Amino acid sequence: MPHPESIALLTAIVVLLMHCIGILHILHALMHVRTSQGTIAWIVCLALIPYVAIPFYWILGRSKFEGSLRARRADDERLIQLSMDLRIAFMKFEADESTALMKAAEKLGGFPQVHGNEIEVLIDGEATFDALFRAIKEAHSYILVNFFIVKSDRVGTRFKDALVKKAREGVRVHFLFDEFGSHKLPKSYLREMEDAGIQTCSFGANRYWWSRLQLNFRNHRKIVVIDGREAFLGGLNVGDEYLGRSERFGAWRDTHLRFCGPAVQAVQLVFLEDWFWAADDVPEVTAAPIPCAADQRLQIMPTGPADPNDSWQLFVIEAASLTTKRLWITSPYFVPDDGVLSALQAAALRGVDVRILLPEKSDHLLVYLSSFSFYEAAIPTGIRLFRFTKGFLHQKVLLSDIHTAIGTANLDNRSFRLNFEITALSTDPTLVSRIEGMLTRDFEEAREASVAEFTSRSFLFRAACRAARLMAPIQ
């Protein structure tokens, strides 16, 4: 039986060793965690309770993706050539005029605004899935699919069956899903796809053994590309709730885009980079831009933790800084960091009509509580917060003066720093007018929030909101 003194000595050595390892992690956090709030929180935890904090740091601590998009692109000669060819081809379609906001978006996302596109706004699930299934049915060569969440419910089964049918007709199908968002997807679902010849792959940060515990980085993109001529992106995943079949929320408000034209090639390149990371392969695709009869302008901006900067955060700040009349944003989550909140406050103070549309009920408790903690800072400066009451609001749309943005990114830390996102931007007057009318109707289905909704609540509720806000870096 071990002597008590030996046990005490061994325990002391283990504790000392853990604190030494904690110091090494503190140095790593000091150099690599992107926000001061997150850095301070990790330093305190790693210093005081390293034996608890170190495992969590490995799972949630890093804010930089291991292996950037640029490095991935440089790994494969075909991706290099496709990227170069696309930029040369875009010179023929690049819009003659570009605003300051679109120039910033080009530097952040790498793609310019191009003309020669035809854009369709798809409001809610019925319109989106009708258009999507129709496009899949008409595919001739290949289909590229990337979703954050895919479920094996009624619409998910219909989606699988549609892809399986095309694969058996000889159409190549590449199916990419996020391993975290689609963790409930059964193996039988994928097996049926693979038996039909569909190439399936999960996207995660675990390509290398040292990053297998990392859960932060999620591919939140929703992309479908048909034959290199038609693309879909927006807020909808694949599941029954997106058709308003949620027992908890009922109606589901969302927005998606369908478009053809040169901009499709930018979406396709984003998919190929993600697929290469996950599968170490580059599918054969149609690389030449295909113009449409219409001539609408569109720009694609991919963002994520592989970028050298926090691209989506910088875009929102720039949009708030440059707008002069209005800034309307819809998102299911409102957990802005200090930079975004300050930009929104400054815009409202100079007379800009700043409106944020949020759901009345949220699907994530922490972000729901966190949003209330911003009432006192936002509303008195002129920022108008609205709660959508007709079901659950999940769309991600921004409208400022002559610009609109529709995509997958929310107003929270995950979209600012941790998730891979994609956004379509445009200054096309027809599209901007369409989005303005759509959002006007959405605001009519909402109620305006007041500071009293937070300050008049119980101490425990307000404390819970403040505590939830402290968790913003990992929500």
Selecting among 227, 254, 428, 442, the annotated active-site residue is 227
Selecting among 151, 174, 396, 403, the annotated active-site residue is 396
CA-derived radius of gyration, the chain: 23
Cα–Cα distance measured from residue 353 to residue 325, given in angstroms and rounded to the nearest whole number? 6
234, two tokens: 């927006």
92: annotated active-site residue: no
32: annotated active-site residue: no
Selecting among 222, 254, 256, 403, the annotated active-site residue is 222
Q: 192 with 173: CB under 8 angstroms?
A: no
160: annotated active-site residue: no
Selecting among 115, 394, 403, 442, the annotated active-site residue is 394
Selecting among 166, 220, 256, 403, the annotated active-site residue is 220
401: annotated active-site residue: yes
Selecting among 85, 161, 363, 401, the annotated active-site residue is 401
Cα–Cα distance measured from residue 257 to residue 156, given in angstroms and rounded to the nearest whole number? 19
Which residues are designated catalytic?
Answer: 220, 222, 227, 394, 396, 401
